[in-house]
Amino acid sequence: MTASPSHTLANLAARFDLQLRGDGTRVIAGVGTLQDATPEQLGFLANPHYRAQLTSTRAGAVVLRAADAETCRGDCLIAADPYVAFAKIAALFERTPVAMPGIHPSAVVAADATIAAGASIGPHCVIEAGARVDAGAVLGPHCIVGERCVVGAQSRLVARVTLVRDVLLGKRVLVHPGAVIGADGFGLAFDQDHWIKVPQLGGVRIGDDCEIGANTTIDRGALGDTVLEDDVRLDNQIQIAHNVHVGAHTAMAGCAAVAGSARIGRYCLIGGGAGIVGHISITDKVTITARSLVTHSIEQAGEYSSGTPIQDNRAWRRNAARFKHLDELARRVQQLEKEAKQ
């Protein structure tokens, strides 16, 4: 485990091109929230809802916007985007386990698998025929790299990650525990009175700098590959079905699900629990809010929502009872409008 470093405010300001207001010699040894940070830690203010905490925070310094600097009683670092600046600074204090290069004695490696000299293969890993693990890649305990899979340079499979087969991970991909990549997609054909399984013959291609959350599943393509372009970020427990294509820099929150052959553009944001039906396309820079169901293609960038917002149960019951009368009500309104025009 790497040791926790410390930095002066002047050093942080110079390193991340921030404006310093206050004592540049102040030493920062960690990060925290405005509410919980100690005098040795750096806090941040990105959400205006927490602005009142500036007057009571014990943080040694705060990252904030210029408009909030006058409210801050202590030292501060001024940033155009405090959240981005805080994320970069917080990375300096991340305690990352140091993986030693080499293959653990309990690992099972096929004779024709290729393991780069600088890779680290943890306890009880299985590397199957034709697989390749590139330099600097780290496989935590109980990972499986199936036939013809590739783990790119500097990628990390944290623990219990399964790459079934024909999965290509790019460089610096981070995969969290329990993720399964390359399992069969849900392909079925109904033959008179029973189901026939449609063979899933494709693979999965994941670009550089992607992150796959815990217990997320990405299915192999039926024909052709399921594709995640560079810098796609998936939260925990997400389902990506066969032959889905996700554009670069798109992020999805937990429990989202994308059905087969859907295409999602670049720089999209998909909220938690959202569903996207199969065989549709979503253009670039689209935001889908939480729990929305996307049933048709979206051709214009922007923010889209569906579903019923929460309300007290009594009001919801009344409105739910009226839902079945909406068509009747719409027809009556149309008739009244027609009569009014006459």
Q: Which residues are catalytic?
A: 242
CB-based contacts of 164, cutoff 8 Å, min separation 6: 144, 146, 149, 180, 181, 182, 183, 220
> What count of other Cβ atoms lies within 10 Å of the Cβ of residue 102?
14
Position of tokens 């783990």?
Answer: 151
Q: What residue type is assigned to position 117 of the chain?
A: A
Q: DSSP letter at 293?
A: E
Strand partners, 7: 28
* Phi, psi values for residue 163, rounded to 5°: -105, 110
What is the longest distance spanned by two Cα atoms in the chain?
88
* Angle subtended at Cα 313 by Cα 311 and Cα 317, rounded to the nearest 5 degrees: 105
CA atoms of 42 and 265, how far apart (whole Å): 36
Instruction: Identify which of 264, 271, 225, 226 has the alpha carbon closest to the alpha carbon of residue 248.
Output: 264
Rounded distance between C-alpha atoms, residue 181 and residue 162, angstroms:
6
